[in-house]
């Protein structure tokens, strides 16, 4: 076994690999960019090396700098994590050429499975069923358009070097094919340096099922059963589970056998995942599952497989890379219970799921489940990297218990002022269709209106009232007509004859008006210093529920079921922020680069028509016209823009 390992990655996966390395007595080396100088993965390593500025292309994607760091620190092996250089065959070769151990598959296997078109052809030759489609060399728009018509709409355009939903576009109407193709090519070129695409038939009720495989240099290949990753948003996985719901022994045997065939076809060594698409229109069937792609690395969702098999996949990676055989035979790998993982993203579901960046002034995660994270309170969510900030993982005896516990855990998340999808995750996990196992990749889109709308919560309003009671009792809010909280015009406040004092408190919670009568003597809450004064944090209990509370200078944040609800006094509340759509200004929701401007100044547009496309956080975001009108101005393609910058102005007709 090697004695030291450098992890060529950042965030939660770097921290995850370090945990196993330290347990095995292996010295750890971190690399980091200038933006990550204070990140947990840097502090947790035995040694850390700065490799460049914040942009990934100048740091984490620069293989020469990573190799130089390994040489400087005396690292014997390199673990790539996922993303960045993990599926870069040239880098894997460079690692071996430098005399280091590459903790991953052979470069030839990476190349064989790295391009989706070539991989599909290889799978056909190996007898693995594949989705009908086109993966030819002719990339002309005319040929691709004709092939899409032959396959039949809807179709899925996919970057051949893609992954993580990047460079992937669903097209339902032939009239939209050219625009979808152009966008997929741009994303493929930007994310992977390759704008080639393939086209597949789009399965209308698809399930995403994948099989964890493992190979060694002694000719052994095993599977560690399947995972279901069907709960997705824009082709990005949101919740993963193992085993897959509704999986029969016959279908499991068919899909795992196909996965083993796929791995053997490329002489696979190490951890990999064979991804399949299944037609869920009439339940899972052995002849209704097709090969989609292979990920030649450790997956983000590997903890659910670890939970149900009891296997440390990173330890297996280390042992196989060191030349050892796989520790277990196939008949020794057993399924135990049910595991689920939810990806906690720094994004705002109420604002189109746009990434939310900034300082994590308040960051609290559940303590009694497995949590993989690479950020901490006081840290920054950067514009330069993926917005996933944690993974919440549970393991229970049954699927129902796992879903309930994970929903509870998502509701315990407290993050401010960065927004997260925690409340959205909780609503997904509690949705009757999900609980029943009735899921497919279109679930979130079909139920989006319900999933994005937090329900009115009487317990949350009761918590607000208790906080107000404590505020009055402590004297931080005085019952006088000039208080921003108490005694609004037309409302009673103050003393009562033969009864305790009572006041009516008015406030806004996320802009919605709230009011309630409070009696200071009944308060059972105190802040950390015994008063409401100053900025601090504590919890308030209503019945058997605890609500997190973060005081602010102009109000407070009440954490309710994973949501950060901002509470402000009635007269202090603005009822919202930002520029109204009626002014016609399209502003950048975050820093980024203009990659397309389909219309020019002077053009006439209709409401909802794309005016400008911003690339940020590795994805494209289309800004559309808020109403019919005339484009007065539009930013130039290639411009780097700051958050809130005006990218275009649409003028309403006179």
List beta partners, residue 354: 348
Of 123, 146, 197, residue with least CA distance to 167: 197
What angle, 0 to 180 degrees and rounded to 10, lies between the N-to-C axes of helices 116-126 and 107-114? 100
Q: Is 497 helix (H, G, I), strand (E, B) or coil?
A: coil
Output the CA angle 485-488-490, nearest 5 degrees: 160
Cα–Cα separations (whole angstroms), residue 15 to 31, 87, 375: 12, 20, 10
Q: Is 297 a catalytic residue?
A: yes
Q: Indicate left, alpha or beta for 337 from its phi (over 0: left) and psi (-120 to 50: alpha).
A: left
Q: b/e map of 33-60 (b: 16 or more CB within 10 Å)?
A: bebbeebbbbebbebbbbbbebbbeebb
Q: Catalytic: which of 16, 207, 297, 399?
A: 297
Cβ pair 199, 305 in contact under 8 A: no
Cα–Cα separations (whole angstroms), residue 409 to 29, 226, 363, 645: 32, 24, 14, 37
Of 216, 157, 217, 209, residue with least CA distance to 187: 157
Output the CA angle 331-26-385, nearest 5 degrees: 90
Cα–Cα separations (whole angstroms), residue 445 to 56, 231, 277, 346, 449: 31, 10, 18, 20, 8
Q: How far is it, in rounded angstroms, from Cα 184 to Cα 157?
A: 7
Q: Is 619 helix (H, G, I), strand (E, B) or coil?
A: strand
The residue to which tokens 């009055």 are assigned: 472
Q: How far is it, in rounded angstroms, from Cα 28 to Cα 49?
A: 11
Cα–Cα separations (whole angstroms), residue 72 to 56, 76, 329: 21, 11, 39
Q: Extract the tokens encoding 370.
A: 């497995």
Q: Is 584 helix (H, G, I), strand (E, B) or coil?
A: coil
Q: Is 560 helix (H, G, I), strand (E, B) or coil?
A: strand
Q: Indicate left, alpha or beta for 26 from its phi (over 0: left) and psi (-120 to 50: alpha).
A: beta
Of 291, 324, 116, residue with least CA distance to 203: 291
Q: Extract the tokens encoding 489.
A: 């015009």
Of 412, 415, 395, residue with least CA distance to 403: 395
Q: How far is it, in rounded angstroms, from Cα 81 to Cα 87?
A: 10
Any idea of the CA torsion for 232, 233, 238, 239, to the nearest 10 degrees? -40
Q: Extract the tokens encoding 312.
A: 């440390």
Phi, psi of 399, rounded to the nearest 5 degrees: -65, -40
Q: Is 281 helix (H, G, I), strand (E, B) or coil?
A: strand
Of 263, 199, 273, 272, residue with least CA distance to 229: 273
Cα–Cα separations (whole angstroms), residue 457 to 399, 435, 462, 472, 564: 27, 21, 9, 23, 13
Q: How far is it, in rounded angstroms, from Cα 619 to Cα 353?
A: 12
Of 166, 187, 160, 247, residue with least CA distance to 211: 247
| Residues recognised as catalytic | 297
């Amino acid at each position: 076994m090697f004695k030291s390992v450098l992890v060529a990655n950042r965030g939660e996966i770097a921290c995850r690999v370090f945990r196993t390395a330290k347990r095995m007595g292996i010295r750890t080396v971190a690399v980091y960019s200038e933006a990550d100088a204070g990140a947990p993965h840097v502090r947790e390593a035995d040694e850390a090396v700065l490799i460049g500025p914040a942009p990934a292309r100048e740091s984490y994607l620069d293989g020469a700098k990573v190799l130089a760091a390994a040489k400087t620190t005396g690292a014997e092996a390199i673990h790539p994590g996922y993303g960045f250089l993990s599926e870069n065959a040239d880098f894997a070769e460079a690692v071996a050429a430098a005399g280091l151990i590459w903790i991953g598959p052979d470069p030839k296997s990476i190349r064989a499975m790295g391009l989706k078109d070539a991989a599909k052809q290889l799978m056909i030759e190996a007898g693995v069923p594949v989705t009908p489609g086109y993966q030819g060399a002719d990339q002309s728009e005319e040929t691709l358009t004709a092939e899409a018509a032959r396959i039949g709409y809807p179709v899925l355009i996919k970057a051949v070097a893609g992954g993580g939903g990047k460079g992937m576009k669903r097209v339902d109407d032939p009239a939209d094919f050219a625009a979808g193709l152009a966008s997929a090519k741009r994303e493929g070129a930007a994310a992977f340096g390759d704008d080639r695409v393939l086209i597949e038939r789009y399965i209308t009720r698809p399930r995403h099922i994948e099989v964890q495989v493992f190979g060694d240099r002694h000719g052994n290949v095993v599977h560690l059963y399947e995972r279901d990753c069907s709960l997705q948003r824009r082709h990005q996985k949101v919740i993963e589970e193992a085993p897959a719901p509704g999986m029969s022994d016959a279908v499991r045997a068919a899909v795992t056998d196909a996965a083993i065939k796929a791995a053997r076809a490329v002489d696979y060594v190490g951890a990999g995942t064979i991804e399949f698409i299944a037609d869920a229109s009439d339940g899972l069937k052995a002849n209704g599952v097709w090969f989609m792609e292979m990920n030649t690395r450790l997956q983000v969702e590997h903890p659910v497989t670890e939970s149900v098999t009891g296997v440390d996949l990173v330890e297996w990676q280390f042992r196989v890379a060191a030349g050892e055989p796989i520790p277990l035979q196939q008949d020794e790998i057993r399924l135990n219970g049910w595991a689920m993982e939810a990806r906690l993203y720094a994004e705002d579901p109420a604002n189109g799921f746009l990434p939310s960046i900034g300082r994590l002034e308040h960051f609290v995660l559940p303590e009694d489940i497995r949590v993989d994270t690479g950020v901490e309170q006081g840290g920054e969510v950067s514009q330069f990297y993926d917005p996933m900030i944690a993974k919440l993982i549970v393991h229970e005896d049954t699927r129902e218990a796992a879903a309930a516990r994970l929903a509870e855990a998502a509701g315990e998340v407290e993050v401010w002022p960065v927004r997260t999808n925690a409340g959205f995750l909780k609503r997904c996990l509690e949705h009757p269709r999900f609980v029943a196992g009735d899921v497919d990749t279109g679930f979130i889109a079909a139920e989006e209106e319900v999933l994005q709308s937090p329900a009115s919560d009487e317990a949350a309003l009761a918590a607000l009232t208790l906080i107000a009671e404590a505020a009055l009792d402590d004297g931080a809010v005085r019952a006088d007509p000039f208080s921003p909280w108490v005694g609004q015009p037309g409302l009673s406040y103050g003393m009562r004859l033969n009864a305790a004092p009572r006041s009516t408190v008015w406030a806004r919670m996320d802009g919605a008006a709230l009011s309630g009568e409070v009696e200071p003597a009944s308060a059972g809450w105190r802040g950390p210093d015994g008063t409401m004064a100053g900025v601090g944090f504590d919890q308030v209990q209503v019945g058997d529920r605890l609500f997190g509370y973060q005081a602010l200078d102009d109000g407070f944040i009440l954490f309710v079921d994973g949501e950060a609800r901002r509470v402000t006094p009635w007269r202090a509340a603005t009822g919202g922020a930002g520029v109204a759509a009626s002014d016609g200004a399209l502003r950048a929701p975050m820093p980024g680069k203009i990659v397309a401007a389909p219309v020019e100044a002077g053009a006439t547009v209709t409401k909802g028509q794309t005016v400008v496309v911003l690339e940020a956080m590795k994805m494209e975001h289309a800004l559309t016209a808020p109403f019919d009108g005339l484009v007065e101005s539009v930013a130039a393609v290639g411009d780097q823009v700051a958050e809130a910058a005006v990218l275009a102005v649409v003028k309403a007709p006179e």
